[in-house]
Chains A and B, each alone.
Chain A
């Protein structure tokens, strides 16, 4: 009898240790990255690091502005493409599609989310790059190789489709049926009901989905790296190449221990990503949790 209780006590303490250890990973990552980027931060001010455009590691010049702009360009393009398409898809799946169609559609959204990033990259190289080079860019600019922030944005957009669709459908499903029925019974069409009643209720959830999608897009590495062109200048049009932060880290890890301060600079890039994504994730998760609580009450 005693042994069982002692066993229970020991196991519960062990579980606590495992839990604390895995939760503290979040803290340890932050501290570790900060500690390793400290040498760079002590030499160059934070403001200068993120506002300077000169990237010459061999001369000790580390300006992250082109990379930050590269990240913002591809993320911006991705959201502009993905949000309207995903929102319409989610509304269609939840509100319009007949049960049979819905059953067929939802698995494909899941299948899309299961495809590894590198495959999106391969697809980008094989499909999107030639499409931009031969069919889209010639209408706007004289010459483009296709490797551009636009290509990065399109590939990212497809990657975040499933995330936005699944969160928005989830939110749409939680909206009480009574609200919809009341609006319909007053003679509103289905679209009017969606526009004026359902979407208004779902706005916090849609914002949360977008914030989450942005943080996902910020951190996406390999697919973007393969199609973006990776040129450390600030892009001025969608057909110019860009160089997002994750691609910077992934492309240069090989040299990072041979050039002074280079490893510190790459860890600083990782720290920037970590902090931004942490904040964005926290915000969207809190919005979603709040929404869930409000609707279940």
Chain B
């Protein structure tokens, strides 16, 4: 009898320890990045582009990478939405009676979601070679769009599935076409669409492997789609490899900026998901 209680106690201790390690690793990572990056943070960092050559130049900031990242992540999310909303609607409205097709499509998007970004990057590179596009903002946006489509489709799909069937049936019974039903549903799930946008943007802004081949790198803020664009994750990666201390420091500051952006996005989407599920009709 004692032994059983003792085992229960032991396991509980282990569980608490494991939980502390798992959640603690979050604080450890963010703490490390803050500790290292805070020292190098200054106003120039987010308002100036690097000067005097990227690997050796000691002055300036990383405005080029911040703007480049916003362009790539923003462009990919918008393009991804244009493609994903019709797909999610199609799966839920038009294929509703053919559950096998709908579930097969969901499976395919789940699998696409699992494909690593380096494969999307390599494939994006193949597309660019095929069409003769050079490493540019456009190339980066194409590759990252491929990466975020599965995220957008699956999130939107989950959200649309929470809309009660009665709403659809009532709208249809009033003589509305399926497209008109779709418009009603879209209005209903608006907070869910914001969540999907945030998730997709967060993934897009943090990903390296997909932009490595496709977006190139530049010290300037891109002014057209055909110019190479710097991105934050790549800026971190390249600058850490530099032997100049100031440039490395800029890398740590970039890491801090990226972490802050992503944390804000994640927290916002958490809040939105909470709010959204509060209004859900059971």
Binding site for B on A (CB under 8 A): 4-5, 7-8, 11-12, 14-16, 18-19, 21-23, 25-26, 28-29, 32-33, 36, 84-86, 88-89, 91-93, 96-97, 105, 107-112, 114-123, 125-127, 158, 161, 165, 189-192, 212, 215-216, 218-222, 226, 246, 249-250, 253, 266-267, 270, 273-274, 277-278, 280-282, 285-286, 289
Contact = CB atoms under 8 A, between A and B. Distances in A.
B40 to A, nearest CB: 13
B115 A29 contact: yes
B166 interface: no
B87 interface: yes
Contact of A122 (B83, B146, B240): B240
Given A26-B108, A29-B119, A88 B266 contact: no
23 contacts: A7-B179, A8-B177, A15-B89, A22-B87, A23-B109, A29-B115, A29-B119, A29-B120, A33-B123, A88-B17, A91-B15, A114-B263, A116-B206, A118-B237, A122-B236, A190-B8, A215-B114, A219-B118, A226-B240, A250-B118, A253-B125, A277-B116, A281-B114
A219 B122 CA distance: 12
Interface in B150-185: 153, 177-180
B118 A270 contact: yes
Interface stretch (B22-30, B42-50, B52-60): B22-30
B86 A14 contact: yes
Contacts of B22: 85-86, 89, 109, 112, 161, 165
A96 B255 CA distance: 36
Interface of B: 4-5, 7-8, 11-12, 14-19, 21-23, 25-26, 28-30, 32-33, 36, 83-84, 86-87, 89-91, 94, 103, 105, 107-112, 114-123, 125-127, 146, 149, 153, 177-180, 202, 205-209, 212-213, 233, 236-237, 240, 251-252, 255, 258-259, 262-263, 265-267, 270
A12 B123 CA distance: 29
Given A8-B178, A32-B126, A274-B119, A161 B103 contact: no
Contacts of A189: 4-5, 7-8
A19 B112 contact: no
- Secondary structure of the B contact surface, majority rule: helix
B145 to A, nearest CB: 10
A32 B119 contact: no
A123 B23 contact: no
A270 B115 CA distance: 11
Which of B119, B122, B252 has the most A CB atoms < 10 Å from its CB?
B122
- Secondary structure of the A contact surface, majority rule: helix
Contacts of B16: 92
Which of B29, B178, B263 has the most A CB atoms < 10 Å from its CB?
B29
Which of B94, B108, B109, B251 has the most A CB atoms < 10 Å from its CB?
B108
B177 A85 contact: no
B8 A116 contact: no
B252 to A, nearest CB: 7
Contact of A116 (B84, B121, B207): B207
Contacts of B259: 115-116, 119
Closest 7 CB pairs of A and B: A219-B116, A116-B206, A88-B18, A114-B266, A8-B177, A281-B114, A92-B15
B265 A25 contact: no
A118 B255 contact: yes
Contacts of A29: 115, 119-120, 123
Given A84-B18, A115-B262, A267-B126, A289 B107 contact: yes
A111 B267 contact: yes
Nearest to A118: B233
Nearest to B113: A281
B93 to A, nearest CB: 9
A25 B90 CA distance: 17
Nearest to B23: A108
Contact of B209 (A16, A122, A161, A221): A221
Which of B32, B112, B119 has the most A CB atoms < 10 Å from its CB?
B119
B179 A8 contact: yes
A119 B255 contact: yes
